[in-house]
Structure 1
Amino acid sequence: MKIALFPGSFDPITKAHVDIVKRSVSLFDKVYIGIGVNSTKAGLLSVEKREQMLRAVFETDPRIHIVAYEGLTVNFCKSIGAEYMIRGIRTVSDFEYEKAIAQMNHSLNPEIESIFIVSKPGYSSISSSIVREIMRYNGDVSQFIPKEALAYL
């Protein structure tokens, strides 16, 4: 069974995230969406709210599982039996950043393979941090967020 983890903060989930997950699920038997909990970083949404939001977005696909975790992502991969880690790439700078993380993860656990999925052009400018900034100033984020997630914002 091919199991993959798509880790991130998902604070909030965006249409770009959804696109990466939907394109990933055809490659694997099971995809975990892992909400990384960083105790030094205060999120806009609580971890519980992010879990609820992700479940609402992906509730119809039994191959997708939502789980929060803390600690090293490669250790979490091992705990759920994932041999693949999915990462979305929007820009060249994303690639450089993700490449460095993938190389470090490979040093920590060579059994975990990083899979990069390039964002569709229409989603390359969408990021959770930009969406959070728009939300802070009461802007309309509906074009960037899946409709199932809007109720949680």
Structure 2
Amino acid sequence: MKALYPGSFDPLTLGHLDLIERGASLVDELVVAVLQNPGKSPAFSLEQRLRQITASTEHLGNVSVISFDGLTVACAKEQGTRLILRGLRAMSDFEYELQIAHTNRSLAPEFETVFLTTSAHYSFLSSSVVKEVARFGGAVDHMVPRVVAEDLARFFNSAFAPPSR
């Protein structure tokens, strides 16, 4: 079975990576689909986000990373899957994600959305929170993969330097 995990991933957090790892353990192939949304102004370019995710998932042999624009269901059809993976941190996420899942089903009734709850220790994470912490020079190495922490430090020109691992 193949699944699609769509998102903007601006930036990829350890919460996203946790869902990717757990999702990959449930399916034969997981496609991480990075949305190129012309209506948003992301901190990182599409190419940077693709590079960050590819580097962060290289240990997962059944994960591929692509970009897409437009509807998630169109991307899923193009990838040959009917299964969409989404993550939930809190009840507030559920309301939004349920609306999106119902919208996708209205567009393509054969599609299913599977929700995975975020691991408790990542439940506070969001890309917005990470960017806010990084913007003010706070340490984000416990929130994002190393490659993302390095890119955030450069992006915000902060004094933060991720520790060597």
Rg larger in structure = 2
Distance 2:116 2:41 in 1: 27
1:59 paired with 2:45, answer no
Partner of 1:85: 84
Secondary structure at 1:4 match in 2 = strand
What displacement does 1:148 show? 4.0
Letter in 2 for 1:24: G
Alignment of 1:126-145 (within 5 A): 126-145=125-144
Greater mean alpha carbon deviation, residues 76-85 or residues 140-149: 140-149
1:11–1:43 CA contact under 8 A, matched in 2 = yes
1:32–1:64 CA contact under 8 A, matched in 2 = yes
Q: Percent identity?
A: 38
Secondary structure at 1:35 match in 2 = strand
What displacement does 1:64 show? 0.2
Distance 1:56 1:152 in 2: 12
Which structure ranks higher in relative contact order (CA pairs < 8 Å, sequence separation ≥ 6)?
A: 1
Letter in 1 for 2:46: V
Partner of 1:30: 29
Q: TM-score, normalised by structure 2?
A: 0.89
Alignment of 1:1-153 (within 5 A): 2-153=1-152
Secondary structure at 1:85 match in 2 = strand
Distance 2:51 2:20 in 1: 17
Unaligned runs of 5+ in 2: 153-165
1:56–1:149 CA contact under 8 A, matched in 2 = no
Q: TM-score, normalised by structure 1?
A: 0.95
Letter in 2 for 1:141: V
Unaligned runs of 5+ in 1: none
Letter in 2 for 1:52: R
- Greater than 6 Å deviation, 4+ residue runs: none
What displacement does 1:121 show? 1.1
What displacement does 1:62 show? 2.0
What displacement does 1:124 show? 0.7
